[in-house]
């Protein structure tokens, strides 16, 4: 099976997307976006505020509670050269996002650096004034390779947390395909109403359509909810540049799942579990394989990482979702842990057998993207029909665009 996946041609997942169909701004009301419903082969359209009419009665929706951070920092050298630093993930505190954001005095991160050739040495500084305090942020490059730079940030006064520093000094990192600078309104609209844990450089965009009122309406109609966290990295915007999937290196992202969530998933495996967005789907599907890793390799305490090809290895027998998730639960209980943390580079592509998700709420994705491969793994080549329907019926595409509910 692994060779079959490796040989997938990315050109088969291309489609024409005119720039004018990419939504540059969100609609005034979150739940006013259009909703394309593909249910057992039938396509129809509605609006997101009516999604309750199409969800199975036993649905459990899984939200990604990650919060987008103002990860883009603009420095200017004494020479006048503009240097942009884009924070990707923390190195401090062994990559623990919450500890890194809570740190005072200094914090070290993997970053992308724009106009890097103009910054050969020296410490950059940025003076920030807010209504509550003034501070100076410093950036020093400690290492550099082809993919990223290691940047140590420090600031004065040092009692401020790095989260407070970014909140005041940084900009929301809008997707590059919007071709515009972030505006004040993006601070609220490029964030879900349930965002809680800082760490993403991109929003889990399927969640942008939900309002608090709609969530309450769904609860009143016996739709259940669960929360996971996957911190979305900049790699989510990276298109597949190779001819086949086997040559594409999937980006790695951090997941954090509470023990109570694992228990809830175990108890609801027979119900219609619907991830809200591809990040939620990658998270819950990753849990299955991480549980299998614990079953196969022992449950000693360690940093777990799911490789992109692990699910495609040949195995005679695979455990049920309940069995695999239960191995995670036993692991958490053995080490008296309240949450499960790991990293995942899971690639969900055609021929992948979905283990936990039964349907998917998502946006329309870029041509030749791994996210489109994920959709195809769930609904097969029907994605082509759905996307053509959306193009023919004035749906808006990508992050600020319209939505889909796919029930295979």
Calculate the dihedral angle through the C-alpha atoms of 61, 67, 72, 73, rounding to the nearest 10 degrees.
180
CB 284, CB 357: distance < 8 Å: yes
CB 345, CB 3: distance < 8 Å: no
Give the pLDDT band of residue 237 (cuts 50, 70, 90): low
Please check the confidence at residue 235 and state whether its pLDDT lies above 80.
Answer: no
- Give 76-84 contacts, CB < 8 A, sequence gap 24+: 77/118, 77/119, 77/122, 77/124, 79/118, 81/115, 81/118, 81/119, 82/114, 82/115, 83/113, 83/114, 83/115, 83/116, 83/118, 83/119, 83/124, 84/113, 84/114, 84/115
Cα(290)–Cα(268) distance, integer angstroms: 19
Please check the confidence at residue 49 and state whether its pLDDT lies above 80.
Answer: yes
Q: What average pLDDT does the segment 319-328 reach?
A: 98
Give the pLDDT band of residue 274 (cuts 50, 70, 90): very high
DSSP 4: H
C-alpha distances (whole Å) from 344 to each of 132, 196, 282, 330 are: 39, 20, 8, 20
Q: Give the global pTM.
A: 0.93
Residue of 332, 326, 263 lying closest to 291 (CA atoms): 326
Mean pLDDT of the chain: 94
CB 375, CB 247: distance < 8 Å: no
What is the share, in percent, of the chain residues with pLDDT greater than 90? 85
CB 255, CB 341: distance < 8 Å: yes
- Predicted confidence at residue 40, as pLDDT, reads 85
Q: Which tens digits make up the pLDDT trace of 254-273?
A: 999 999 999 999 999 999 99
DSSP 249: P
- Predicted confidence at residue 114, as pLDDT, reads 92
Cα(274)–Cα(265) distance, integer angstroms: 11
- Predicted confidence at residue 17, as pLDDT, reads 97
Domains for the chain: give ranges and CATH numbers.
2-67+188-407 (3.40.1780.10), 71-170 (no CATH)
- Predicted confidence at residue 310, as pLDDT, reads 96
Q: Which tens digits make up the pLDDT trace of 149-177?
A: 999 999 999 899 999 999 999 999 999 89
| Residue 394, phi-psi category: left (phi > 0), alpha (psi -120 to 50), beta (remainder) | left
């Amino acid at each position: 099976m692994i060779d079959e996946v490796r040989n997938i041609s990315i050109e088969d997942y291309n489609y024409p997307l005119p720039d004018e169909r990419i939504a540059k701004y969100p609609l005034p009301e979150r739940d006013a976006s259009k909703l394309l419903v593909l249910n057992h082969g039938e396509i129809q359209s509605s609006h997101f505020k009516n999604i309750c009419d199409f969800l199975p009665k036993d649905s459990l929706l899984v939200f990604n509670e990650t919060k987008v951070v103002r990860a883009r920092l603009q420095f200017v050298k004494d020479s006048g050269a503009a240097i942009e630093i884009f924070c990707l993930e923390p190195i401090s505190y062994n990559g623990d996002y919450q500890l890194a954001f809570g740190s005072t005095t200094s914090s070290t991160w993997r970053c992308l650096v724009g106009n890097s050739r103009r910054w050969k040495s020296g410490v950059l500084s940025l003076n920030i004034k807010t209504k509550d305090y003034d501070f100076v942020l410093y950036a020093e490059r400690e290492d550099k390779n082809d993919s990223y730079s290691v940047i140590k940030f420090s600031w004065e006064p040092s009692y401020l947390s790095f989260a407070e520093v970014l909140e005041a000094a940084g900009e929301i990192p809008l997707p590059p395909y919007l071709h515009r600078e972030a505006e004040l309104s993006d601070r609220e609209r490029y964030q879900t109403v349930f965002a809680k844990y800082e760490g993403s450089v991109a929003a889990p965009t399927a969640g942008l359509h939900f309002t608090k009122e709609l969530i309450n309406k769904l609860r009143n109609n016996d739709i259940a909810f669960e929360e996971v966290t996957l911190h979305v990295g900049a790699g989510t915007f990276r298109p597949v540049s190779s001819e086949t999937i086997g040559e594409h290196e999937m980006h790695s992202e951090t997941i954090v799942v509470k023990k109570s969530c694992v228990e809830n998933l175990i108890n609801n495996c027979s119900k219609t579990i619907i991830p809200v967005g591809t990040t939620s789907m990658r998270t819950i599907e990753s849990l299955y394989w991480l549980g299998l890793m614990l079953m196969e390799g022992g449950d000693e305490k360690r940093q777990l990482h799911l490789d992109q090809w692990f699910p495609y290895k040949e195995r005679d027998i695979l455990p049920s979702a309940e069995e695999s998730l239960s191995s995670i639960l036993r692991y958490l209980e053995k080490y008296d842990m309240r949450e499960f943390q790991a990293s995942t580079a899971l690639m969900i592509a055609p021929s992948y057998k979905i283990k936990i998700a039964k349907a998917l709420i998502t946006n329309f994705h870029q041509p030749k993207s791994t996210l489109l491969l994920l959709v195809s793994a769930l609904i097969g080549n029907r994605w082509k029909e759905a996307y053509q329907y959306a193009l023919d019926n004035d749906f808006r595409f990508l992050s600020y665009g319209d939505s889909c509910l796919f029930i295979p």
